[in-house]
Amino acid sequence: MSELLESTAGDKTRRKEGIGAFSGVSDDAEPLARLSDVAEFRAGYAKLKAGEWDAGKWQGYRLRFGVYGQLQPGVHMIRIKIPGGILPFAWARRVAEANRRWAGQHIHISTRQDLQIYFVKPDDVADCLEFLAEAGITTREACGNTLRNMTSCHLAGTCPREHVDAGKVADQLARAWIRHPLAQHMPRKFKATVSGCETDCASSHIHDLGLIATHKDGRPGFKVYAGGGTGGQPVAAALVADFVIEEDLPAVIEALLRVHQRYSNRRNRNKARIKFVNKRFGAEKFRALFEEAFAEARKLPQRPWHKLDWRHGDADAPEPVSPGGVVASHDGTQSVVLNEGLGLFTSEQFEALVDLAESADARELRVTRDQNLAIVGLEPGVVADVVARVREMGYGVEDHPGDVPNVVSCPGTSTCGIGITNSQSFGATIQGLVKDYAAKPNVTVKISGCQNGCGLHHVSDFGFQGMGKKIQGRNAPHYQIYIGGDERLNGHTGLTGPVVPARLAEDALKLMLDGYALGRGPGESVRDWALRLGKNGIRDLIAPIAERINAADEGLFYDFGEDWEFSPPTGRSPECAAGTLDDDLQKDLADDALINVDRALGTGALDLARRFARTGFRAAAQRLRIHAGLPGEEGDSDEQVTSTLRAAFGTDADIIAGLERMGAATGGEATVATLREALAYWIDLAEEVVGRPVAFGGFDMGALGDSLSDSGGVVSNLLKGGPGGN
């Protein structure tokens, strides 16, 4: 936040223009990419190299810039945000060139419409980020405990059923919230999506936030679902608002982020997603928490909102789960959806597709959540030639639009540090099987290399989750099968099926595909078919697999794509769950509070401004406590906080002056503007002090002990052991 929160030379008072960027004062749109982001990243990397930061500090820092660790040591994956899946030609070319220069492997389309490049050396990362930023491409907040890439439905902008281009909604919301201090150090990541109509192809019910475009009483707006998720403990999202107008969407996000910050579990990383707040309180109470936060957020200015182009969608148009082929758009143009499979492209392939799209006067490219690529905005007269040329390049384009059998997979152990199986290699292995199945009822097949579910295996017709299991005492790669999942609204997670060795999973899938094709009733879904058969029926269907499990078969102990015997990972934790250092969190909460003071002052909400100022004071004070190793709890009164700081920093004239200034600014005669200036001074002062080396010799620790009640011996133990108790 350095470029937004600069101190005024001389008195540390923040009078600057930057706060307006988030206060609603500024009319300027926030750019996705800033070169100052790269400068910020370089500064952090320099601190790591100089030994000023340890690996834990650096990990949480780089994740916010989209820089992820890999299974392979000494290299990084860079995740590039493509909000709403809208991929301009210039961006595609720049990503292809970045991949060629610094990565050299495949460009990977993720299930969240990101582009990922791999094997980037640590010393090359900043140059790569700068190269991308120069073209307006961002990696900011693509990883970590942040507001992740905003996604949309597969055919956003072209689908005849849509009321609005969900991709453009996602893009505008991404710009409204990128870099906001509230979204930098949340308890855990926050994933949001937008659907252009009630069909909900963007899968609202499995997201932290899902927005569904609709009309109510002749007005356009959105339904709001929140608190959903998959992973090890799937939770269905709750309906928290029946209808909101488009201008209130930034306030919707703010409300949910504040609920997340306030109620999510920071002590247990495995239960820190907002879905656990929904689960803990129940849908009714969860909705009430949202409504309270939403009502407050609506009182305050938001970032500028540009009106959307609405229409009434064609409810009778096809509604494919995984669209493919040539799709007619509502504006008379057509789109060509490439069924690439697994979303992997070389730089040369990416550039060739851009050349083709540009030569055909296409509008843009769109990346889809099922890892495919769409060329959109084509005039009908050029489509046949485009299809022919795409097929010459080796990509599939179905003869008829509609559901396309498509394999989706996360990278698994090809690059992921917590993967258990090589899901990507398994996905490549079954591509032929699934394509041969195209003449039969279309299904979805999704694969995850572990229980975290990045491949969305829980919500697929046939889902595969990588796991380790022993065969007569020896570790072997396996897949837990799920059957009959549905990722759209009111859908279900898949029914738990059998566990099979990875090397036999392809044959198990074939048995299930054939069983469904031959045994389903008219119009019967995979889920209904599986429910009718029951667990015993599914078990009998794949009984031939169980008969082939033999410890004498050495192949069972080797995963797809690997030439070494399988060994399950131990001691690895997901980088996406990396903890937040409390100082970083408190810094962001203080900055957020100052922004909110400005917002409240702008609307004359003086009591609200005072409340935000108190929050900012306590957050900055908590930074000082952490820096000095002082005791303190969240529930301490303001008087306890102040007395602790006075005792500990009694010889620091600046700290005492800051406390006096805050005290005077909260007096009966003080104006709110004076309070704002005092808070700005206090926040900047905390930043300065935290940057100094700790000098405990200047603290009057005896006075500190006298100023506090020694509940449970905490203070006396601290005094005996010195700062921090050690």
Query: Considering the domain boundaries, does residue 422 fall inside one?
Result: yes
CA separation for the pair 708, 716 (Å, rounded): 10
Q: Please tell me whether residues 549 and 587 are part of one structural domain.
A: no
pLDDT of 717 reads 27
Query: Considering the domain boundaries, does residue 14 fall inside one?
Result: no
CATH of the domain at 277: 3.30.413.10
Report the domain count for the chain.
Answer: 5
Q: Please tell me whether residues 55 and 86 are part of one structural domain.
A: yes
Domain boundary residue among 145, 171, 203?
A: 145
Q: Averaged over 101-120, what is the pLDDT?
A: 96
pLDDT of 403 reads 59
Q: Which of 56-60, 92-96, 408-412, 698-702 has the lowest mean pLDDT?
A: 698-702
Domain boundary residue among 400, 424, 439?
A: 400
Query: Considering the domain boundaries, does residue 11 fall inside one?
Result: no
Q: Please tell me whether residues 241 and 136 are part of one structural domain.
A: no
Q: Please tell me whether residues 126 and 227 are part of one structural domain.
A: no
Q: Please provide the average confidence, as pLDDT, over all residues in the chain.
A: 87
* DSSP category for residue 147: B
Within a 10 A sphere around the Cβ of 614, how many other Cβ atoms? 16
DSSP E strand boundaries for 309-354: 323-328, 334-338, 344-345
The dihedral sign for the CA sequence 54, 60, 64, 66: positive
The dihedral sign for the CA sequence 496, 500, 504, 507: negative
Name the H helices within 327-413.
347-359, 380-392
Contact 662, 676 (CB under 8 A): no
CA separation for the pair 555, 540 (Å, rounded): 24
pLDDT of 602 reads 86
Confidence category of residue 26, pLDDT binned at 50, 70, 90: low
Q: Please tell me whether residues 613 and 523 are part of one structural domain.
A: no
CATH of the domain at 39: 3.90.480.20
Query: Considering the domain boundaries, does residue 13 fall inside one?
Result: no
CA separation for the pair 444, 436 (Å, rounded): 14
CATH of the domain at 351: 3.90.480.10
Q: Cα-Cα-Cα-Cα dihedral of 87, 88, 93, 97, to 10°?
A: -50
Q: 23-32, 648-657, 695-704: which has the highest mean pLDDT?
A: 648-657
Specify the higher pLDDT residue, 340 or 481.
Answer: 481
Confidence category of residue 435, pLDDT binned at 50, 70, 90: confident
Strand order in the sheet with 462-471: 406-409, 444-448, 462-471, 474-483, 495-501
pLDDT of 704 reads 33
Q: Averaged over 55-84, what is the pLDDT?
A: 96
Confidence category of residue 13, pLDDT binned at 50, 70, 90: very low
Q: Please tell me whether residues 490 and 430 are part of one structural domain.
A: yes
Is the model's pLDDT at 455 over the cut of 50? yes
Query: Considering the domain boundaries, does residue 222 fall inside one?
Result: yes
> Minimal CA–CA distance to 670: which of 657, 661, 681?
661
In 3-state terms, the chain is what percent helix, strand and coil (to 5)?
A: 45, 15, 40
pLDDT digits (tens, 9 = 90+) for 527-556: 999 999 999 999 999 999 999 999 899 999
Query: Considering the domain boundaries, does residue 150 fall inside one?
Result: no
Is the model's pLDDT at 341 over the cut of 90? no
Q: Please tell me whether residues 656 and 719 are part of one structural domain.
A: yes
* DSSP category for residue 17: S
Domain boundary residue among 112, 145, 178?
A: 145
Query: Considering the domain boundaries, does residue 82 fall inside one?
Result: yes
Q: Please tell me whether residues 426 and 562 are part of one structural domain.
A: yes
Q: Averaged over 383-388, what is the pLDDT?
A: 97
Query: Considering the domain boundaries, does residue 153 fall inside one?
Result: no
Is the model's pLDDT at 24 over the cut of 60? no
Contact 354, 97 (CB under 8 A): no
Is the model's pLDDT at 6 over the cut of 70? no
Prediction pTM value: 0.88
Which residue segment(s) compose the domain that 656 sits in? 582-725
Name the residue with tokens 């870099």. 179
Specify the higher pLDDT residue, 299 or 630.
Answer: 299
Q: Please tell me whether residues 200 and 252 are part of one structural domain.
A: yes
Q: Please tell me whether residues 595 and 622 are part of one structural domain.
A: yes
Q: Please tell me whether residues 242 and 330 are part of one structural domain.
A: no
Q: Averaged over 135-160, what is the pLDDT?
A: 96
Distance of CA 359 to the CA centre of its chain: 34
Q: Please tell me whether residues 570 and 613 are part of one structural domain.
A: no
